Amino acid sequence: MSLRLNSTAPDFTAETTQGTIHFHDWIGEGWAMLFSHPKDFTPVCTTELGYMASIENEFAKRNCKIIGLSVDPVESHLKWEKDIEEIQGVSVNYPMIGDPTLAIAKLYDMLPEEEPNTSEGRTAATNQTVRSVFVIGPDKKIKLQLTYPMTTGRNFHEILRVLDSMQLTAAHKVATPANWKNGEDVIIVPAVSNEEAQEKYPQGWKTVKPYLRLVSQPSK
């Protein structure tokens, strides 16, 4: 069955660069981002993993752990980390999952079921669908999923933006408009009545249309 938004994130046990983890236990009570890359020692992935290391603290501020994955073994990740540090000037301090049997890639629908059951001989091209992002909430449900082409590095600031939006929704029953940035006005969702909104936002809001009410962003 395909994974969808609000599907329970499949649990698994895996070897990582920081030891064995049980995924749901590792997530704990906060948020988590699982992001995969096609192959170690490839150019786009090297820039991504290094940049993620440089902004890991931004995810930590949002109570969100990060963990990487590729179909390479853990030993390969550990060697590659040295290149990432040399090129990007930052150490990778988050765990990276080794998935040489493709078990987790298949569990998360990153590869077709008919793919071979080993990573041996595979190239970045044959792994190109494994450039995915899953953001998982404290309830262990999938809140965001994205898959990028092999040749396009991800914009992790966009993922932070979406994480900010989702956390505001969880806390305050608000939505965010197109191109919203943290700190800008948000939308009171239609399910919130004017009476309930008055209790939550006594300072008032701007009614553009009855279904479009803008209010200053509440604090998380």
Q: Which residues are catalytic?
A: 45
Length of the chain: 220
- Structural contact between residues 156 and 57, judged by C-beta atoms closer than 8 angstroms: no
Residue 142, SS3 per DSSP: strand
* Rounded-to-integer distance, Cα 83 and Cα 40, Å: 10
Residue 142 β-bridge partners = 136
Rounded CA-CA distance 65/17 in Å is 15
HSE, side-chain direction, 13 A CA sphere, residue 52: 29
39 closest CA partner among 151, 158, 115, 156:
151
Strand arrangement, sheet containing 13-16: 19-22, 13-16, 96-98, 64-70, 31-36, 132-136, 142-147
